[in-house]
């Protein structure tokens, strides 16, 4: 039904429905159109379907991105919320266009504009939340808006035209919040595309502000508002890229910005609703006093709610961090902070926990070095004290063997000479361990060294029924290191593996590059070690074997440190061990 309004007749406030009474809603779905040759209603319907198409494209692209396997749960949840937000915006735009296309009751537009608001709130949550996986339920709140399609529900609301500006004010405010969040994301990450996303939401915000002012369809303010909306969504389509979606992380900046924005919005929205309601149904003096009281109460409650929220979410983790620092020494570096967020406080907690681990390891390493220094000094003293009488014993045994004959005497002399040789070997190792390691690096081929060592130990491996496999890295360069010392390290590691494996065992020697360093690893499928054994395996005189001095691995680690590298162990009891020697190839 088309309404022709003669000149001089006042138009109803909503520009969409003539006001019959406070209770009666007409089914008129053709709003007042300013005189023009342009069919603005057809343009408006096309505009809404175009926005639906843009939102669908953004959703499909975001959904495709979320299928990547290397993405974390946090990133996938954030992408899910972003795609869900655009789904809600697209559904609302399609519904909006259908209401006009099929000339349905305009009060149905309440549902579409509330859907816009929920879609924007979902986008705000996607950007600002540090735990988006806990907010995946928000898009499903749209189900609560479905009853608004029923006449009983939408006829409860005032005539749409009376409250239409207020709803557009909600949309403009929420779009402005997202605009500021993307500016904050650009400030925090430096990704310039966030500025384009901010521009897109700024255009939507400006268009919503223009639609806040009541004007007939086809008026200048209406045209500008409905031109900027599709332009804003088009800008968002070109700004949303894969790398930008994966860069979003939780931040205190986002949370505080969102919290203060919503804190300021709640009393303003309550006041705006009262003002618009007063235009529809005037409020008496007592009613106005109650409205002022309710407005102050809502302001106080919202301030307390967001204030307590900030204290719980921001201040409490900082206080826990402060408490952990104060009790750091008393708790013997065993206290860790529970990480409950992915924002800056969460990152600070991670850094603190890593610092505690490094400090604990540093103190442990310092104690180990002190023990090594004391052991080395004691070993040198003992070795010198032992060598002198040991030489006398060896000379006496030689004299006895040359001047006295007899089966029993020869047997005892052999025992004396054997044990003297063994003690001499031990004292030599003690002296080698005590004196500083002086490496003489020259350009050498590490792959050639492992091949030579495997050949050298091949016969012993066959006797133990053990297979030695070598896997030289193709990208290992020729670089300077002390060939004999690194060969000594490799011999110690392989001999230890030979002692650890049983029949039909396997030892694998491998070289390669790892983060700017050359690695040499020796892996076996032997009996492995417990965590307690691994803690002490590089300490001098510690051994899990029935033979040996327990100095081989201690000397090997000392040689690795002298080369500017290190020696590490990975082992599981019953599953074998893996020693890894790291050497800087650019030293």
* Within this chain, domains 1-249 and 442-584 share the same CATH topology: no
CA dist., res. 414 & res. 395, Å (int): 13
User: Rg of the chain over CA atoms, in angstroms?
Assistant: 40
Contact (CB, 8 A) for 165 and 276? yes
CA dist., res. 90 & res. 57, Å (int): 10
CATH code of the domain occupying 1-249: 1.20.1070
CATH code of the domain occupying 344-434: 1.10.287
What CATH topology corresponds to 442-584?
Answer: Heat Shock Protein 90 (3.30.565)
Contacts within 8 Å (CB) and 24+ apart, 407-414: none
Domain ranges of the chain: 1-249, 251-326, 344-434, 442-584
The alpha carbon of residue 312 and the mean position of all alpha carbons in its chain are separated, in whole angstroms, by: 22
pTM > 0.75: no
Token readout for 35 is 């005189």
Contact (CB, 8 A) for 223 and 44? no
Q: In a structure prediction context, what are the per-residue pLDDT tens digits for the chain, which is 587 residues long?
A: 333 333 333 333 333 434 333 334 444 444 544 444 457 888 889 999 999 999 999 998 888 877 777 777 888 888 899 999 999 999 999 999 999 899 888 888 888 988 999 999 999 988 888 788 888 999 999 999 999 888 888 888 777 777 777 778 888 888 988 998 888 888 888 888 888 999 999 999 999 888 877 677 778 888 888 899 999 999 999 887 767 777 777 777 777 777 777 766 666 666 666 665 666 566 565 555 666 666 666 666 666 666 666 666 666 677 776 676 666 656 666 666 666 666 667 777 777 777 777 777 777 767 766 766 666 666 666 666 676 677 777 777 777 777 777 777 777 778 887 777 777 776 776 666 656 567 778 888 888 988 888 888 888 888 888 888 888 888 888 888 888 888 888 888 888 888 888 777 888 999 988 877 888 999 988 888 887 778 777 777 667 665 566 677 878 888 888 888 888 888 888 888 888 998 887 65
Q: Is 232 left (phi over 0), alpha (psi -120 to 50) or beta?
A: alpha
């Amino acid at each position: 039904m088309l309404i022709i309004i003669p000149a001089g007749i006042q138009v109803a406030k909503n520009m969409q429905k003539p006001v019959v009474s406070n209770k009666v809603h007409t089914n008129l779905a053709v709003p007042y159109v300013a005189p023009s040759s342009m069919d603005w209603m057809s343009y408006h319907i096309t505009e809404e379907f175009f926005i639906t198409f843009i939102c669908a494209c953004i959703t499909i692209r975001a959904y495709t991105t979320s299928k990547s396997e290397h993405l974390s749960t946090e990133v996938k949840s954030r992408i899910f919320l972003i795609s869900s937000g655009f789904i809600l915006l697209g559904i609302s735009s399609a519904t909006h266009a259908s209401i006009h296309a099929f000339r349905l009751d305009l009060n149905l537009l309440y549902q579409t504009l509330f859907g816009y608001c929920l879609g924007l709130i979902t986008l705000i949550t996607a950007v600002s939340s540090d735990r988006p996986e806990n907010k995946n339920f928000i898009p499903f709140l749209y189900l609560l808006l479905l009853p608004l399609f029923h006449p009983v529900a939408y006829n409860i609301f005032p005539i749409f035209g009376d409250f239409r500006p207020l709803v557009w004010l909600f949309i403009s405010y929420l779009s402005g919040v997202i605009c500021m969040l993307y500016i904050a994301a650009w400030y925090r990450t430096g990704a310039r595309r966030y500025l384009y996303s901010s521009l897109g939401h700024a255009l939507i915000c400006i268009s919503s502000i223009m639609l806040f002012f009541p004007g007939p369809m086809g008026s200048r303010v209406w045209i500008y508002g409905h031109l900027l909306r599709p332009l804003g969504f088009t800008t968002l389509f070109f700004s949303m890229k894969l790398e930008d979606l994966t860069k979003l992380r939780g931040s205190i900046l986002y949370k505080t910005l969102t919290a203060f924005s919503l804190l300021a919005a709640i009393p303003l929205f309550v006041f705006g609703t009262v003002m618009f309601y007063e235009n529809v149904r005037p409020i008496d003096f007592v009613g106005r006093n109650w409205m002022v009281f309710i407005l102050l109460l809502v302001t106080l409650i919202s301030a307390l709610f967001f204030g307590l929220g900030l204290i719980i979410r921001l201040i409490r983790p900082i206080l826990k961090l402060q408490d952990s620092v104060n009790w750091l020494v008393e708790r013997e570096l065993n206290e860790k902070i529970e990480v409950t967020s992915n924002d800056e406080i969460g990152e600070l907690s991670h850094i603190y926990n890593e610092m505690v681990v490094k400090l604990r390891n540093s103190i442990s390493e310092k104690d180990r070095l002190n023990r090594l220094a004391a052991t080395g000094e004691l070993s040198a003293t003992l070795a010198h004290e032992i060598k002198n009488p040991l030489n006398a014993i060896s000379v006496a045994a030689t004299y006895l063997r040359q001047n006295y004959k007899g089966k029993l005497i020869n047997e005892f002399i052999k025992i004396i000479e054997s044990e003297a040789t063994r003690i001499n070997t031990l004292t030599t190792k003690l002296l080698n361990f005590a004196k500083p390691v002086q490496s003489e690096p020259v350009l050498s081929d590490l792959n050639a060294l492992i091949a030579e060592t495997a050949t050298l130990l091949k016969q012993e491996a066959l006797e133990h029924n053990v297979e030695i496999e070598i896997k030289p890295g193709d990208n290992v360069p020729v670089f300077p290191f002390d060939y004999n010392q690194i060969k000594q390290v490799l011999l110690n590691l392989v001999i230890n593996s030979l002692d650890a494996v049983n029949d039909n065992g396997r030892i694998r020697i491998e070289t390669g590059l790892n983060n700017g360093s050359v690695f040499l690893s020796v892996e076996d499928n032997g009996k492995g070690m417990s965590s307690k054994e691994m803690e002490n395996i590089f300490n001098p005189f510690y051994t899990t074997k029935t033979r040996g001095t327990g100095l081989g691995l201690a000397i090997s680690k000392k040689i690795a440190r002298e080369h500017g590298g290190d020696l590490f162990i990975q082992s599981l009891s019953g599953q074998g061990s893996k020693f890894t020697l790291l050497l800087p190839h650019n030293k």
